[in-house]
Chain A
Amino acid sequence: MTDTSPRTTGPGAGEAVGAASGNAVAGGADLVLTGVTKRFTDFVAVDNLDLTVPQGSFFALLGPSGCGKTTTLRMVAGLETPTEGEIRLAGQDITHLKPYRRPVNTVFQSYALFPHLTIFENVAFGLRRQGKPDVDAAVAAMLDLVELSDLASRRPAQLSGGQQQRVALARALINRPQVLLLDEPLGALDLKLRRQMQIELKRIQTDVGITFVHVTHDQEEAMTMADTVAVMNRGVIEQMGAPMDLYEHPMTTFVANFLGQSNLIGGRVLGSDGADLEVEVHGTRLRVPRSRGAQDTGEVWVGIRPEKVQVCAPGSADDGPRSRLAGGVITDASFIGVSTQYLARMPWGQELMAFEQNTGAHEQFRVGDHVELRWVPEHTFLLDADQDANAGVERVDEG
């Protein structure tokens, strides 16, 4: 579970993590972006981006709106031209190739189905334009795959959102592109349907083995489906890797906050002791495995995920080595069924989050109780203190 391997991937680092690329067929059909920059008149949407998407992988570009992920996707589709840089697919330079000459298809955010054509003709559109034979049989098989055969003669307006989404997928997939681009394809669906389609998409991707590049701002969606997730912010990739690696080992405050939630506490590295770093946090000394540090000297953010934090009565016993922060007072306890979410105010004024599973094995605390926060030292991570501790925090109230 814990990630102990040393990391070389830093913020904005380029090389893809190919290890997790599922059923990738060996071969040079990777999608490679080199030094890609897209400048619009008043801002830089994508800034010197290096990215390799291995053939056959399910790759997610994750980030908040305006981070450049959709622009990146559109450049791969050919709907935008990079200001600088190069895009290669299977070794071929496609940077300036017209969109209709690229072996790439897109599932658009709003689906963009042709309203005047039947579902059948929508799906057949790409094959007909390419002059492929046996269009009817191919369309029938594809409609079968997405379970829409009985709606073939309907128009898009007569379908529900989920059905339209499947038509959009079928219309792109039937062309057997080398890369399928998905632009927030599940954004318009309600939560239940979205979960269902996530599983469906993953199944279809595994079946057909086509490279999927999926753009989303939903971290759960990215982690559920993708082999590799690249977290984008302000036109650059902050960090890239398998979902679990990213979650367990964030390298920037943005990733720590955008992917799940994190407690970030100001601290200072005092020195090292073998494989461990010694860190001082508001008067308390903690040990952190050296491999868990994005930075190993000077001022740092000491990070810990809320679900890793145990809320304990002061002085109670532990069943192993623990990092401890004493002197907390519970300021909020929200019981949400599977877990209880606590806020504890620490002596230096900061409120830390702790999520306790309601296994019945823990004591329940109330507002005002004095507590100690503890966690397994290997779960701590250290980040560069020059970064904004609130980067990537979702502010729901700002909409």
Chain B
Amino acid sequence: MSHPAPTQAAETQPPAKRPLGGWMGYLLLAPAALWLTLFFIVPMASMVSTSLYDPTGSLESGYAMTGHVQNYLTVLADYSEQFLRSLMYAGAATIACIILGYPLAYAIAFKAGRWKNLMLVAVIAPFFTSFLIRTLSWQLILGDQAWVADTLRSLQILGENGRLLDTPVAVVTGLTYNFLPFMVLPLYTSLEKIDPRLHEAGADLYASPFTTFRKVTLPLSAPGLVAGTLLTFIPAAGDYINVELLGNPQTQMIGNVIQNLFDGGSYPEAAALSVTLMAVIVVLVLLYIRKAGTEELV
């Protein structure tokens, strides 16, 4: 391994380009770094500082920077209910996405045959319509006069005057629908990489199909499952459109609260709530990755 002569290395990598190597990397990074600095780091700093303004100010009179840490205590005391609800709804939607998405991704990866590409296009197809329009259409599907509610009422699953629209079920349904592709695609990617012969090897080594799934397929698809969970849970926890269109004031999530606070001009509280939401999500994600990474999700 130490044998190859320097001349050989020089041949494979033209020496003329090598001096560029040092700062070329930074040059390539520069646009993204600039973008992130301007539109992520600066706003972030601004948000954090806003969260510490004196809340008695207003847009018209201006805010005073007083290091008002009480903002955090106030919003936590006032909105902990919406906070917990956000995490619960996002969690429920994520679990629903796993239940619906895993079999779908599995079928596309291993069973679809020549329909594979068509099915993948079908998963992505909803993105051709706006998020807002898609969510609005669920108002029709879940509406009081629509066949879904009718059927559930006639089956006695829903009470006589029971509704679907404007309920937590509708919100979680909307979240599940909107974030399902973000679960399916990473899952599909990691399932598709699994050599089908590993299933045969499992069967050959006395593992029933279910055991083979549990001991071989599931652990090997863990990276996709982790990625899918993050891509679903994080945006779902901060979402406010689904509640806006499918929920009611009693199903408000933290995103709605933040939006309302902004609309009402309470910038410091809104910022404090946003910072708290981010911090909670970062902590949850770190805990999750740590667990998933070390215990192989078996």
Using a CB–CB cutoff of 8 Å, the interface residues on chain A facing chain B are: 77-79, 98-101, 104-106, 108, 110, 112-116, 125-126, 129-130, 171-172, 175
Inter-subunit contact A110/B195 (CB<8 Å):
yes
Q: Is B169 an interface residue (CB 8 A)?
A: no
- Kindly identify, within residues 191 to 242 of chain B, every residue whose CB is under 8 Å from any CB belonging to chain A: 195, 197-198, 200-208, 211, 215-216, 219-220
How far is A110 from B201 in the complex, measured between Cα atoms in Å? 11
Q: Is B81 an interface residue (CB 8 A)?
A: no
Q: Given A112-B198, A114-B201, is A129 in contact with B219 using a C-beta cutoff of 8 Å?
A: no
Report B-chain residues with C-beta under 8 Å of the C-beta of A106: 200-201, 204
Inter-subunit contact A116/B206 (CB<8 Å):
no
Q: Which bucket holds chain B's interface residue count?
A: 10 to 19
Inter-subunit contact B203/A129 (CB<8 Å):
no
Report B-chain residues with C-beta under 8 Å of the C-beta of A116: 216, 219-220, 296
CB distance from A142 to the nearest CB of B (A): 13
- Name 8 interchain pairs, CB-CB below 8 A, sorted by A: A105-B204, A105-B205, A106-B201, A116-B219, A125-B205, A129-B211, A172-B204, A172-B205
CB distance from B204 to the nearest CB of A (A): 5
Inter-subunit contact A112/B203 (CB<8 Å):
no
Report B-chain residues with C-beta under 8 Å of the C-beta of A113: 201
CB distance from B223 to the nearest CB of A (A): 10
Report A-chain residues with C-beta under 8 Å of the C-beta of B207: 100, 125, 129
How far is A56 from B198 in the complex, measured between Cα atoms in Å? 28
SS class, residues of chain A in contact with chain B: mixed
Q: Given A112-B197, A112-B198, is A100 in contact with B204 using a C-beta cutoff of 8 Å?
A: yes
How far is A114 from B203 in the complex, measured between Cα atoms in Å? 13
Report B-chain residues with C-beta under 8 Å of the C-beta of A77: 200, 204
CB distance from A111 to the nearest CB of B (A): 9
Inter-subunit contact B220/A110 (CB<8 Å):
no
Inter-subunit contact B203/A98 (CB<8 Å):
yes
CB distance from B54 to the nearest CB of A (A): 55
Report B-chain residues with C-beta under 8 Å of the C-beta of A110: 195, 197
How far is A101 from B203 in the complex, measured between Cα atoms in Å? 9
Q: A78-B203, A100-B208 are in contact. List 14 more A-B contacts (CB 8 A).
A: A77-B204, A100-B202, A100-B205, A100-B206, A106-B200, A106-B201, A108-B200, A112-B201, A129-B205, A129-B206, A129-B211, A171-B205, A172-B204, A172-B205
Report A-chain residues with C-beta under 8 Å of the C-beta of B220: 115-116
User: Which are the 4 A-B pairs with shortest beta-carbon distances?
Assistant: A126-B205, A129-B206, A112-B201, A112-B197
Inter-subunit contact A112/B195 (CB<8 Å):
yes
Report A-chain residues with C-beta under 8 Å of the C-beta of B201: 106, 108, 112-114
How far is A171 from B207 in the complex, measured between Cα atoms in Å? 13
How far is A114 from B220 in the complex, measured between Cα atoms in Å? 9
Report A-chain residues with C-beta under 8 Å of the C-beta of B195: 110, 112
Question: Which residue of B is nearest A103, CB measured?
Answer: B206
CB distance from A366 to the nearest CB of B (A): 42
Report A-chain residues with C-beta under 8 Å of the C-beta of B296: 116
Inter-subunit contact B206/A126 (CB<8 Å):
yes
Q: Given A108-B197, A116-B296, is A99 in contact with B203 using a C-beta cutoff of 8 Å?
A: yes
Q: Given A112-B197, A116-B296, is A79 in contact with B204 using a C-beta cutoff of 8 Å?
A: yes
Question: Which residue of B is nearest A78, CB measured?
Answer: B203
Inter-subunit contact B198/A114 (CB<8 Å):
yes
Report B-chain residues with C-beta under 8 Å of the C-beta of A126: 205-206
Question: Which residue of A is nearest B204, CB measured?
Answer: A106
Question: Which listed residue (A78, A79, A175) contacts B205, Cβ 8 A?
Answer: A175
How far is A114 from B200 in the complex, measured between Cα atoms in Å? 11
Question: Which residue of B is nearest A99, CB measured?
Answer: B203
How far is A205 from B296 in the complex, measured between Cα atoms in Å? 36
CB distance from B136 to the nearest CB of A (A): 43
Question: Which listed residue (B198, B206, B219) contacts A130, Cβ 8 A?
Answer: B206
Report B-chain residues with C-beta under 8 Å of the C-beta of A104: 204
How far is A104 from B197 in the complex, measured between Cα atoms in Å? 16
CB distance from B198 to the nearest CB of A (A): 6
CB distance from A41 to the nearest CB of B (A): 13
Question: Which residue of A is nearest B205, CB measured?
Answer: A126
Q: Given A110-B195, A116-B220, A116-B296, is A79 in contact with B200 using a C-beta cutoff of 8 Å?
A: yes
